[in-house]
Amino acid sequence: MKHLFSNIKGDLFGGITAGIVALPLALAFGVSSGLGPSAGLYGAILIAFFASLFGGTSTQISGPTAPMTAVSMVVIASIIAANDGNVKQALPTILTVFLLAGIIQVGLGLLGFGKYIRYIPYPVVSGFMTAIGLIILVTQILPSTGYYVKEDSSFVDKFKPKAQEIILKNILKEEAGKGILVINDIKETLKRSSKITENDILKEAKILASKEASGVLGTLKVLPRALKSINFLELALALFTILIIYGFKRITTVIPSTLVALVIMTAATLLLKLEYRPIEKITGSFPIPNLAIFSKFSITQIKPYIFTAFTLALLGAIDSLLTSVVADNMTKTKHKPNKELVGQGIGNSIAAIFGGIPGAGATIRTVINIKSGGKTKLSGMIAGIMLLIILLGLGPIASKIPAAVLAGVLITVGIGVMDYKGLKAIPNLPKDLKMGPIKISSEVIIMITVLLLSTFWDLVYAVGIGLVIASLIFMKKIGDVTARRSNITSLKEKAWDDESEFPENLSKEVFIKHINGPLFFGSTSNFQQLAKQIPDTATTVIIRMGKMPYVDQSGLFALEDILIDLEKNGIQVLFVDVLQQPKYMMEKIGIIPELISKEHTFKTFSDCLEWVKNNVKNKI
């Protein structure tokens, strides 16, 4: 506690500054997520406070971030669509998924997974971050031009036949659930169908239209329609916001340019009495728990989103720990990764219960906190309190912010979040894979795959596929390295130092296999060529295993097949220096002593050499 208050002045200034910087982003991310600006503020307040209180990075400022919001946006849209467009009905399920993500983060921290996050390949992270930027950039084009698909009546009308079909299906499904047989009681179905109003059909058609226009592909589909009906006032508000954000940075970075743009543009629209579209109303009341998370909990509703919750948790962990590394470099301190995950998980869990969107450690806010004097956890907690004061005191005023201004803020976020370092490195990366006549970098393949799949398909699956591809390529590379270092060589070729005294007259009869490194599923294909490579003159093969620390099941069975083939061909096999783990595995399945007797297993090469001199005859 004493340490917490050791830098009150610096932490106060750092926390207040970071909180002010977080305000426009919290509002923008809330609107972008689909739950509204209040959800963004609730997330920023609660995550900042509790992640700082329980986390393992003293100067970290947490809250909604671009990657977390992009994934949350997909989750929210799919759950709302599954609940017939009813946000209120979908909210408990949405928040339960966010709560589960927070709990998973806590679990990852308690199990000590924090130190393993750094092993996620950079190309996967790079492709994902660039995709996040593109998604935000493209999806904000429509609000920047003042186009809202639900208000495009000619587009919505196209979905009315499908809307009627869905409404009728829902009636039949509901009747089946109540045990009403439509064939026997068609009058009941007709009676209920007759009560369908034009407003019901229109409402369902708007939901379908919104779904059609969601995401990058959806935006591109309706973009021609948006460009034909541009609201030039909304477009001007977005463009001026972007100009102020980039222009003000050239004047000074002491005051956050996003906040300056937000204040100037909102004030200008109010003073000029322009007819613009404001953001959703912010209640300005203290966040209250959404107890429906617990009272309406259903495992069947959550089941399809468990993998998504895990992805959110993992993404938040990566995002936070990368920011922790930045903070360490600036403060010359060392964060506690597992404790940081626990803190982030607690913050996200509490935010979910109170209706906030999930978040993570935010690099820009953390850097600003440190530069403003923040040194302890108190700075992050003050940032959360500052946002709460703004919510309670300025909620009604904040509700007057133009929606196009927040779209402009998000466009700059999208541009900023892309990994330009990774993109610039593409031409210089080593071309280590050959695809027909073309050579290409494996890292570029991973990066582009994750980028395209994330942008045009699914963020969650893109990361999973990227990790699988990265793992397969890594295993192939390790297998190739192992194979290159463990080629079959006769003693006339390069031999190990202790093989120099091997009898020259037996060099045609005896061949040595050096295994340098583990024998695992990535290296078995080359190892299986052993029997085919041995010339007809060979009667004995010595396999030296002193540098083979590990063998997996695939490697074990590959070795067994080779030994059986060699035995059929009348070739004697000798093992030298079998290490503990491989020996244990071989004894478990009977390679030792059934295929290779203990008399043919030697501790040292000199013992093996003595046996060869006494038992192998020169036939040439």
Q: For 348-397, give the DSSP string.
A: HHHHHHTTPPP-EE-HHHHHHHHHTT--SHHHHHHHHHHHHHHHHHHHHH
Residue 575: strand, helix, or coil: strand
Residues 305 and 104 sit within 8 Å (Cβ to Cβ): no
Q: What's residue 234's pLDDT?
A: 93
Residues 169 and 204 sit within 8 Å (Cβ to Cβ): no
Q: Taking residues 251-259, what's their average pLDDT?
A: 80
For residue 551, report the phi and psi dihedrals to the nearest 5 degrees.
-135, 135
Q: What's residue 425's pLDDT?
A: 81
For residue 604, report the phi and psi dihedrals to the nearest 5 degrees.
-130, 160
Task: Give residue-wise pLDDT tens across range 304-345.
Answer: 888 889 889 988 898 888 788 778 877 888 888 899 999 999
Q: Which long-range contacts (CB under 8 A, 24 or more apart) does 138-141 make?
A: 138/216, 138/219, 138/220, 139/32, 139/215, 139/216, 139/219, 140/32, 140/238, 140/407, 140/408, 140/410, 140/411, 140/414, 141/219, 141/223, 141/226
Q: Taking residues 412-428, what's their average pLDDT?
A: 84
Cα 266–268–274 angle (5° rounding)? Answer: 90
Q: What's residue 22's pLDDT?
A: 85
pLDDT, mean over the chain? 83
Alpha-helical regions (H) of 255-376: 257-271, 292-295, 299-302, 306-331, 337-353, 363-371
Reported confidence tier of residue 531, pLDDT bands at 50, 70, 90 = low
Q: Taking residues 22-51, what's their average pLDDT?
A: 89
Q: What's residue 493's pLDDT?
A: 46
Q: What's residue 107's pLDDT?
A: 94
Q: Taking residues 592-597, what's their average pLDDT?
A: 87
Residue 563: strand, helix, or coil: helix
Q: Which residue has the tokens 């463009």?
A: 239
61 strand-pairing partners? none
**CA–CA separation, 76 vs 598, rounded Å?**
64
Q: What's residue 341's pLDDT?
A: 94
Q: What's residue 238's pLDDT?
A: 93
Q: Taking residues 170-183, what's their average pLDDT?
A: 62
**CA–CA separation, 473 vs 446, rounded Å?**
9
**CA–CA separation, 39 vs 357, rounded Å?**
6
> In terms of C-beta density within 10 A (0-12 exposed, 13-18 middle, 19 or more buried), how is residue 447 classed?
buried
Query: Of 144, 325, 303, 330, which is closest to residue 236 (Cα–Cα)?
Result: 144
Residues 402 and 265 sit within 8 Å (Cβ to Cβ): yes
**CA–CA separation, 315 vs 125, rounded Å?**
9
Strands 510-516 and 488-490: antiparallel
SS3 content of the chain, % helix, strand, coil (to 5): 70, 5, 25
Peptide bond into 289 cis (omega under 30): no
The yes-or-no verdict on residue 620 having pLDDT over 70 is no
Element (H, E) at 581: helix 580-589
The yes-or-no verdict on residue 260 having pLDDT over 80 is yes
In this predicted structure, which of 186-200, 325-339, 363-377, 483-497 has the lowest mean pLDDT? 483-497
Q: What's residue 354's pLDDT?
A: 94
Residue 458: strand, helix, or coil: coil
* % of the chain exceeding 70 in pLDDT: 90
Reported confidence tier of residue 2, pLDDT bands at 50, 70, 90 = very low
Residues 419 and 69 sit within 8 Å (Cβ to Cβ): no
Cα 506–511–517 angle (5° rounding)? Answer: 145
What are 590's two structure tokens? 């009977």
155 strand-pairing partners? none
**CA–CA separation, 17 vs 22, rounded Å?**
9
What are 28's two structure tokens? 């923008």
Q: What's residue 242's pLDDT?
A: 93
Q: Taking residues 115-131, what's their average pLDDT?
A: 80
Task: Give residue-wise pLDDT tens across range 208-248.
Answer: 888 888 888 888 999 999 999 899 999 999 999 999 999 98
Q: What's residue 71's pLDDT?
A: 85
Residues 401 and 278 sit within 8 Å (Cβ to Cβ): yes
What are 100's two structure tokens? 């589960």
Count CB neighbours of 252 within 10 A.
9
Q: What's residue 346's pLDDT?
A: 96
Chain center to CA of 84: 28
In this predicted structure, which of 221-235, 360-374, 420-434 has the lowest mean pLDDT? 420-434
Q: What's residue 207's pLDDT?
A: 80
Higher pLDDT residue, 438 or 174?
Answer: 438
Q: What's residue 167's pLDDT?
A: 79
Q: What's residue 106's pLDDT?
A: 96
| Those residues with Cβ within 8 angstroms of residue 31's Cβ, 6 or more apart along the chain or in another chain | 37, 40, 279, 280, 403, 406
The yes-or-no verdict on residue 595 having pLDDT over 80 is yes
Q: Taking residues 356-380, what's their average pLDDT?
A: 88
DSSP 8-state code for residue 558: H
The yes-or-no verdict on residue 489 having pLDDT over 70 is no
In this predicted structure, which of 59-63, 88-92, 129-133, 480-484 has the lowest mean pLDDT? 480-484
Q: What's residue 491's pLDDT?
A: 44
Residues 352 and 288 sit within 8 Å (Cβ to Cβ): no
What DSSP letter does each residue of 515-547 carry, written as one string? Answer: EES-B-TTTHHHHTTHHHHS-TT--EEEEEEEE
Q: What's residue 43's pLDDT?
A: 94
* % of the chain exceeding 90 in pLDDT: 21
Higher pLDDT residue, 472 or 230?
Answer: 230
Q: What's residue 488's pLDDT?
A: 42
Q: What's residue 285's pLDDT?
A: 77
